[in-house]
Chains A and B, each alone.
Chain A
Amino acid sequence: MAIAPETLKEEALEPRSAPPGSGAAHDDNFHNPPEKPSAQFHHDADVITRDLRHRALIQSALGKYGLARASKQSKFQDWQAARQAAGDVKWEALGRLDSHLRDFADKIEARGAKVFWASHGDEARDYVVQVIKDAGAKRIIKSKTMTGEEIHLNAALEKEGFEVAESDLGEYIVQLREEAPYHFVFPAMHLSRGEISDLFKEKLGTESTDDPERLTMIAREVMREKYIAADVGISGANFAISETGTISITENEGNARLTIGLPKIHIAIFGIEKVLPKMSDLALFLPMLATAGAGQALTGYNTLISGPRQPGEIDGPEELHIVLLDNGRTNLLADPEQRDALHCIRCGACLNVCPIFKNVGGHTYGTTYQGPIGSVITPHLRELQTWKHLSSASSLCGACTETCPVKIDIAHHLLQNRRNAVKEKSVWWEKLAMQGFAFFMNQPKLYRLALKVAPLAQAFHPLIKGRKIDPMYVWTKDRDFPKVARQSFREFWSKRQK
């Protein structure tokens, strides 16, 4: 991206990933042509990285996360053994995914739920729309579902004229802003309270305030009426237990409890990889998700749903629809080397520790799942060549691998994606450059000559440095080029030996 540093200070440059108010984030085609995702990534990264306000917000939010997490993780008697076990359980679950899913579906259907198997997003959307139409329903309340984001469910529902309310506070905020979630666990982390206050003032006509509690109460008041009035509640699920036909939903606000408690119909939509073999596995996964995700011993509400309202129960929905979504997951499953990327429990920890994420922010990725894990899975779920640039959005520091509660070697997978992309379709100039480099490095005489010439050539560098004709432009536009030593180590050593 050719942007001179001076122009970046101007207000006019806005990130392109999700212009507020454009509704673009909900548009299927937004991240496709005319602008290539890689170009959009580079542009937005360039802008956001220099945005000090963004930096301060993220530093402070993730600083709080880091402290809370460290304190909760240290309470574990053996975090490393727990990680290995969690990874093993998911490995076992995915290794027999077909039979686990069959068991799950049969069990929950026996309790009165309907299970819909969707290969693609459009099938899932059509089914949800159909269920709502059949019921003659209008008003929909949603608790957080990233799978819903993945298939642009809200846009589809709104197009049908339904009234859709996101009940999770962060999701509600980004819904009002008509933008995509910034982070799949902390959707509104990029906003200050002032911005949220302005947003509420504009959209809801409330008074300005800089008190987070007051702001939360505004959302609470708005939502209360909606829960009671809603005909349909849509949720995601964090785990699906094959042993008992149960889904597990994790949340802090109580919004999911109300979403699946009050409306007459509950639709739960989630990916086929959410399976766990046994209910008791949750004794391990719930605290690990809470600890890695938000530095909590256990998340506020963990709710296990085994069917719609059963005979003799006081309340609960009359209908429960389960939508199991493939949408590219079997592609990833078919790659044994990277299959374990499906172990992900979406805790978001790898985003929180990623130096790239902290610098470029969530919207820059242009994906439903941001950060390291998003960079690993998006090329599989969408298309490798268009999304391969994400594998380079990594310093390969390995912080993601280190932090992952289910022990996914994310950094390894990022490299693997790079390799696969080259194997599938190599770029001619990269290939040529690499061949040239190999040739050069195999010629000691040429190499030594270059070392001699380099300091001389560098003397002329300032003439073009930082300008576009500079062959080192990508580097020198914001950085200095290190000075080439007058004496090579080899020369120094041989002199010393004398």
Chain B
Amino acid sequence: MQHQTKSNREGILSAIRRALAVPAPRPGHHEGEAKTQQEPKFHSTLPIMGQEPVSSWLPPVGASWDDWRDLFAANSVDLKTEFIVCADEADLNAHLKRLAEQNGWKKVALHHGELTDKAQAALGLETMWVDKGYDPHELEKCDAGLTQCDALVAQTGSVVMSNPSAGGRVLSVLPPHHVVLARRDQLLPDLPTAFELMQSKYGDNYPSLMGFITGPSRTGDIERILVLGAHGPKKLTVLVV
């Protein structure tokens, strides 16, 4: 592929270097004499990885799993996510069956995984597996997409997913109902811990897509009135077992 327009990497980089010749005052230090000379050197980018400050500025999350569960539940109410903590796998299956019945599922889409395989067996509905490639038209017609995830974040009520953990990029957004299946120990307290997990899980080899899903698809573009299901799922159900 031959492009006529030329990328101006060196030109832009040298323009940036020239522009940066004079240092800028730190935020909040614009008044009066420039303090840049005396400012202490800035250390790294801040201890964000769950150690200190960042978690201590963000909304509080509590210390125990029960606190996190309650917080996730409270956030879910706010977000209109359906959040269910199941007693055991039998309970999970019962909930899945209830969901299928209530929502009139005829066909569901899934990817292979420990929890999704079990769910498929329990549901016994017509199934579309996406693992070996799929036709988007067919996926669009499925009543629900069932996926696993990387983690749940109590602080924001978010589901952390990625290409490998949730059956690719599209399964979690194209069907009208997204159902997330998660283990109890996947519930994390806050965002810093979630990033820490992704880093330790994937190291330098990040999946091409990682995502935070916070509630069902939504928009406020018409008079700032909340409407669910703008382009993605109208419903989001999170089942923890």
Scan residues 37-62 of chain B and give those whose CB is less than 8 A from a CB of chain A. Answer: 42, 45-46, 48-49, 53-54, 56-60
Q: Are A89 and B46 in contact (CB under 8 A)?
A: yes
* Chain A 152-164 per-residue mask, 1 if CB under 8 angstroms from chain B, else 0: 0000000000000
A279 within 8 A of B: yes
A12 within 8 A of B: no
Scan residues 147-170 of chain B and give those whose CB is less than 8 A from a CB of chain A. Answer: 155-158, 163-164, 167-170
Q: Are B5 and A186 in contact (CB under 8 A)?
A: no
Binding stretch for chain A, among B17-25, B88-96, B117-125, B179-187: B17-25
Q: Are A254 and B28 in contact (CB under 8 A)?
A: no
Chain B: interface residue count, which band?
A: 35 or more
Bound-state Cα–Cα, A189 to B219, Å: 12
Q: Are B19 and A284 in contact (CB under 8 A)?
A: no
Q: Which residues of B contact A280 (CB under 8 A)?
A: 45, 48-49, 192, 195-196, 199
Q: Are B173 and A261 in contact (CB under 8 A)?
A: yes
Bound-state Cα–Cα, A254 to B209, Å: 14
Q: Are B157 and A297 in contact (CB under 8 A)?
A: yes
Q: Which interface residue of B11, B23, B78, B212 has the most chain A CB atoms within 10 A?
A: B212
Scan residues 121-163 of chain A and give those whose CB is less than 8 A from a CB of chain B. Answer: 123, 126-127, 130-131, 134
Q: Are B28 and A407 in contact (CB under 8 A)?
A: yes
Q: Which residues of A contact B1 (CB under 8 A)?
A: 134
Q: Are A279 and B169 in contact (CB under 8 A)?
A: no
Q: Which interface residue of B7, B12, B220, B227 has the most chain A CB atoms within 10 A?
A: B220
Q: Which residues of B contact A257 (CB under 8 A)?
A: 169-170, 172-173, 211, 232
Chain A: interface residue count, which band?
A: 35 or more
Bound-state Cα–Cα, A258 to B194, Å: 24
Q: Which residues of B contact A126 (CB under 8 A)?
A: 4-5
Q: Are B16 and A255 in contact (CB under 8 A)?
A: no
Contact of A254 among B45, B217, B227 (CB under 8 A): B217
Q: Are A254 and B232 in contact (CB under 8 A)?
A: yes
Tell whether A117 pairs with B173 under 8 Å between CB atoms, given A246-B206, A298-B212.
Answer: no
Scan residues 200-245 of chain A and give those whose CB is less than 8 A from a CB of chain B. Answer: 212-213, 215-217, 219-220, 223-224, 227-228, 244
Scan residues 227-279 of chain A and give those whose CB is less than 8 A from a CB of chain B. Answer: 227-228, 244, 246, 252-255, 257-258, 260-262, 272, 277-279
* Chain A 469-482 per-residue mask, 1 if CB under 8 angstroms from chain B, else 0: 00000000000000
Contact of B199 among A119, A279, A339 (CB under 8 A): A279
Further pairs besides A215-B222, A278-B48: 4, Cβ < 8 Å: A191-B222, A220-B231, A279-B199, A306-B207
Interface residues of A (CB under 8 A from B): 57, 60-62, 64-65, 75-79, 81-82, 84-85, 87-92, 94-98, 101-102, 105, 111, 115-119, 123, 126-127, 130-131, 134, 167-170, 173, 186-189, 191-193, 196, 212-213, 215-217, 219-220, 223-224, 227-228, 244, 246, 252-255, 257-258, 260-262, 272, 277-284, 286-287, 294, 296-310, 312-316, 324, 326, 330-331, 333-334, 336-337, 339-340, 343, 406-409, 412
